[in-house]
């Protein structure tokens, strides 16, 4: 507990269990490290993930031996998304592991594949070294979760003279900022300088590195359009003339994807070039003629999916800072105004189409009408947490974040359901002065409804908005578009649920909105409140209104289905 205090850990998300009580008996006397009790171990991991994204400090979660298996979905998301976390699981004494002891299972084998390292406390005197290593690994290089397995008998051991110092460099991330090789930087600048149609694509690594300022300066120096992946949303201000918004298959627009496909140079910054950000490697195609520059802190990601002209391995902010310093001294070709103006004209034309949909009076409420009303109601300081599905797709594509920085989070590394509600609790502690807005699908809500009790207990402005289409709507869309309408009802539909009664049973004020005219009034009233609220909005499933997913749109047009392009 002294080490956690030393690392500036103010909150740990977790659940009690018999194997953790020796630690809890000490924890009870350490008020500086708050235990945030969750209702499910998976939720504890998701909360720590969101805390890390919004706070720029490693998230910390813990669970008892019996609940260690429940933490895997949350830890896996953090691992794939490169989110720094320290994950504690308590355990039975290790010498009982092969004796069929209740709750005993091999934690190390479970966590080794979804963490940077799994560490076991075999001697209590080694605990300081293990904690130092965990924070150092979590926050350095490619960030990620580190697991500490803490048997209950070792929790009770005495340590003669514990070494309680901390390594200050690793209280936050990035712990250290390596810079790419200078020769390679010069090569990259030369390629950018000669480009006719360059584009920058920012992944979540730009947000993790807090490199949005450096990206903007570089883009303005060369007059380069900038797009982001859905997980990288916020890496570039979307009100900027050079912004092309989110790209790829989740939240991407036809305009942004077109700019990438027509580019002669693509500069990936902090981007894993994953299937979502590239529309299954069709944007650009794997045989693209564009020259690729790839900057990432991870040697595993640079050139992982596309052949690169220039490989840059280093921290995004530190490396771009040096690139800017060098570029400012060089002669550049100047801003490519005709191309930028052409892109802006296309954006304006598309914006007129979007504006028309935002004025829709359709019932059920059109998603773009919701996005408009939400944008109008958002306070200046907000933190938006979304579930996968329509909550994320329409928000990423059409809710413009005009200032750069971490304002919205999406779990499109693994993309599992049940993320937003527990993640919003982590956001509350990471940004205690912000208004948290939580967009939840009814499918996801079924996974973590119990966390409404945690939301109510924690309190504060956490405003939950539930999209009710009475189904696993995304699967209905997949069925309709790829298999045929005869399948859409297979394993997708829910019985009617009175979600307001559930919210009110947990002590949270609930409102149901069915008419577009009511939406803005309700959202503005709720988002101004200082305690949690719950708003249910009736929407269409994805087979009834197809969202702007590139692989779906041509099929929707061919089948004559309503869609948003």
Give bridge partners of residue 439 from the DSSP assignment.
386, 465
For residue 218, give the 3-state DSSP assignment.
helix
Give me the pLDDT at residue 186, please.
95
Give me the pLDDT at residue 192, please.
95
Containing 324, the helix (H) or strand (E) segment is helix 316-327
Tracing tokens 């890496």 back to the chain, one arrives at: 235
Same domain, 125 and 191: no
For residue 105, give the 3-state DSSP assignment.
coil
Same domain, 162 and 186: no
Same domain, 148 and 245: no
Q: Judge whether 525 lies within some domain.
A: yes
Give me the pLDDT at residue 335, please.
55
Residue range 385-397: average pLDDT?
96
Q: Judge whether 349 lies within some domain.
A: no
Cβ atoms < 10 Å from Cβ of 359:
11
Give bridge partners of residue 145 from the DSSP assignment.
85
Report helix, strand and coil shares of the chain as percent, to nearest 5: 40, 15, 40
Same domain, 195 and 286: yes
Q: Judge whether 354 lies within some domain.
A: no
In this model, does residue 331 exceed pLDDT 70? no
Please write the tens of the pLDDT for every residue from 47-79: 999 999 999 999 999 999 999 999 999 999 999
For 471-485, what is the HEC assignment? ECHHHHHHHHHHCCH
End of a domain among 170, 201, 216? 170
* Distance separating alpha carbons of residues 58 and 86, to the nearest angstrom: 7
Question: Per residue in 462-499, is it b (16+ CB within 10 Å) or e — as a string?
Answer: bbbbbbbbbbbbbbbbbbbbeeeeebbeeebeeeebeb
Task: Of 112, 118, 53, 116, give the one whose Cα is nearest residue 409.
Answer: 53
Structure tokens at 315: 């921290």
Please write the tens of the pLDDT for every residue from 444-462: 999 999 999 999 999 999 9
* Distance separating alpha carbons of residues 436 and 40, to the nearest angstrom: 21
Same domain, 282 and 363: no
Query: Which residues fall within 8 angstroms of residue 171, CB to CB, at 6 or more apart?
Result: 7, 8, 57, 135, 139
User: Could you tell me the strand order of the sheet in which 533-538 lies?
Assistant: 408-409, 382-386, 435-441, 462-468, 533-538, 509-513
Lowest-confidence region among 134-148, 155-169, 410-424, 466-480:
155-169
Same domain, 301 and 421: no
In this model, does residue 13 exceed pLDDT 70? yes
DSSP letters of 355-410?
HHHHT---SSPPHHHHHHHHHHH--SSEEEEE-SSHHHHHHHHHS---S-SS-EE-
Q: What's the mean pLDDT when you consider all of the chain?
A: 96
Please write the tens of the pLDDT for every residue from 167-200: 999 999 999 999 999 999 999 999 999 999 999 9
Q: Provide the residue range defining the domain that includes 144.
A: 2-170
Structure tokens at 227: 């797009």
Task: Of 342, 360, 315, 29, give the one whose Cα is nearest residue 179.
Answer: 315
Q: Per the structure, how many domains does the chain have?
A: 3
Same domain, 311 and 389: no
Lowest-confidence region among 155-169, 446-460, 523-537:
155-169
End-to-end CA distance of the chain: 52
Q: Judge whether 324 lies within some domain.
A: yes
Q: Judge whether 199 lies within some domain.
A: yes
Tracing tokens 């429940």 back to the chain, one arrives at: 70
Residue 334 binned pLDDT confidence (cut-offs 50, 70, 90): low
Give me the pLDDT at residue 332, please.
64
Same domain, 93 and 223: no
For 411-476, what is the HEC assignment? CCCCCCCCCHHHHHHHHHHHCCCCEEEEEEEHHHHHHHCCHHHHHHHHCCCEEEEEEECCECHHHH
Please write the tens of the pLDDT for every residue from 241-256: 999 999 999 999 899 9
Q: Judge whether 347 lies within some domain.
A: no
The CATH number covering residue 160 comes to 3.40.50.970
Query: Which residues fall within 8 angstroms of residue 192, CB to CB, at 6 or more apart?
Result: 198, 222, 224, 265, 267, 293
Q: Judge whether 214 lies within some domain.
A: yes
Residue 407 binned pLDDT confidence (cut-offs 50, 70, 90): very high
Task: Of 100, 88, 91, give the one whose Cα is nearest residue 35.
Answer: 88
Give me the pLDDT at residue 337, please.
81
Structural contact between residues 13 and 59, judged by C-beta atoms closer than 8 angstroms: yes
Structural contact between residues 202 and 226, judged by C-beta atoms closer than 8 angstroms: yes
Structure tokens at 264: 């002669």
Same domain, 200 and 165: no
Task: Of 288, 334, 300, 296, give the one whose Cα is nearest residue 316.
Answer: 296
In this model, does residue 292 exceed pLDDT 80? yes
Same domain, 245 and 374: no
Give me the pLDDT at residue 46, please.
98
Residue range 299-327: average pLDDT?
97
* Distance separating alpha carbons of residues 104 and 119, to the nearest angstrom: 17
Beta strand 533-538 pairing with 509-513: parallel
Cβ atoms < 10 Å from Cβ of 329:
6
Same domain, 276 and 378: no
Residue range 400-409: average pLDDT?
97
Please state whether the predicted TM-score (pTM) of the whole model is above 0.95.
Answer: yes
Same domain, 225 and 292: yes
End of a domain among 121, 145, 170? 170
Cβ atoms < 10 Å from Cβ of 237:
18
The CATH number covering residue 320 comes to 3.40.50.1220
Q: Judge whether 176 lies within some domain.
A: no
Assess whether the previous peptide bond of 174 is cis (omega < 30° from 0): yes
Give me the pLDDT at residue 77, please.
98
Give me the pLDDT at residue 102, please.
87
Assess whether the previous peptide bond of 364 is cis (omega < 30° from 0): yes
End of a domain among 147, 170, 193? 170
Tracing tokens 């994953």 back to the chain, one arrives at: 274
In this model, does residue 228 exceed pLDDT 90? yes
Give me the pLDDT at residue 535, please.
98
User: Could you tell me the strand order of the sheet in which 145-151 lies?
Assistant: 34-37, 11-14, 59-63, 85-91, 145-151, 117-120
* Distance separating alpha carbons of residues 398 and 405, to the nearest angstrom: 17
Please write the tens of the pLDDT for every residue from 473-506: 999 999 999 999 999 999 999 999 999 999 999 9
Question: Per residue in 270-285, is it b (16+ CB within 10 Å) or e — as a string?
Answer: bbbbbebbbbebbbbe
């Amino acid at each position: 507990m002294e080490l956690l205090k030393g690392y500036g850990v103010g909150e740990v998300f977790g659940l009690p269990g018999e194997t953790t009580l020796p630690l809890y008996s000490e924890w009870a006397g350490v008020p500086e490290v708050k235990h945030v009790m969750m209702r499910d171990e998976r939720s504890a991991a998701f909360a720590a993930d969101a805390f890390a994204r919004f706070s720029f400090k490693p998230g910390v979660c813990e669970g008892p031996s019996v609940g260690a298996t429940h933490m895997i979905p949350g830890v896996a998301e953090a691992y794939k998304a490169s989110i720094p976390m320290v994950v504690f699981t308590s355990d039975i004494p290790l010498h009982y592991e092969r004796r069929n002891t209740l709750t005993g299972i091999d934690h190390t084998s479970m966590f080794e594949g979804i963490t940077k390292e799994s560490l076991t406390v075999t001697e209590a005197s080694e605990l300081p070294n293990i904690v130092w290593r965990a924070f150092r690994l979590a926050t350095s290089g490619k960030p990620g979760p580190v697991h500490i397995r803490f048997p209950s008998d070792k929790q009770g051991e005495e340590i003669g003279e514990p070494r309680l110092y901390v390594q200050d460099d690793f209280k936050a991330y990035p712990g250290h900022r390596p810079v790419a090789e200078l020769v390679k930087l010069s090569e990259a600048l030369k390629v950018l300088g000669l480009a006719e149609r360059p584009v920058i694509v920012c992944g979540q690594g730009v947000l993790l590195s807090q490199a949005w300022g450096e990206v903007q300066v570089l883009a303005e120096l060369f007059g380069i359009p900038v797009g982001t992946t859905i997980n990288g949303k916020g890496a570039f201000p979307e009100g900027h003339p050079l912004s092309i918004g989110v790209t790829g298959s989740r939240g991407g627009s036809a305009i942004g994807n077109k700019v990438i496909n027509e580019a002669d140079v693509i500069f990936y910054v902090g981007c894993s070039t994953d299937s979502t950000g590239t529309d299954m490697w069709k944007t650009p195609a794997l045989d693209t003629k564009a020259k690729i520059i790839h900057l990432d802190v991870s040697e595993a990601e640079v050139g992982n999916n596309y052949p690169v002209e220039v490989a840059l391995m280093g921290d995004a902010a530190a490396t771009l800072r040096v690139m800017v310093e060098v570029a400012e001294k060089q002669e550049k070709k100047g801003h490519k105004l005709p191309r930028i103006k052409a892109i802006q004209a296309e954006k304006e034309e598309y914006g007129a189409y979007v504006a028309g949909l935002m004025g829709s009076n359709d019932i059920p409420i059109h998603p773009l009408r919701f996005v408009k009303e939400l944008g109008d109601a958002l306070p200046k300081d907000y933190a938006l947490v979304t579930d996968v599905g329509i909550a994320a797709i329409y928000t990423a594509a059409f809710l413009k974040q005009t200032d750069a920085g971490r304002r919205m989070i999406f779990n499109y590394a693994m993309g599992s359901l049940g993320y937003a509600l527990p993640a919003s609790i982590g956001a509350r502690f990471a940004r205690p002065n912000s208004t948290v807005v939580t967009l939840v699908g009814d499918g996801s809500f079924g996974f973590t409804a119990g966390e409404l009790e945690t939301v109510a207990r924690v309190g504060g402005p956490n405003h939950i908005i539930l999209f009710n289409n009475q189904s696993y709507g995304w699967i209905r869309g997949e069925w309709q578009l790829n298999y045929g309408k005869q399948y859409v009802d297979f394993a997708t539909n829910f019985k009617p649920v009175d979600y307001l009664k559930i919210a009110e049973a947990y002590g949270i004020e609930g409102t149901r909105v069915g008419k577009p005219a009511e939406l803005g009034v309700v959202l503005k009233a709720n988002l101004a409140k200082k305690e949690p609220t719950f708003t249910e909005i009736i929407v269409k499933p994805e087979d009834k209104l197809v969202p702007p997913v590139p692989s779906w749109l041509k099929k929707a047009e061919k089948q004559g289905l309503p869609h948003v392009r």
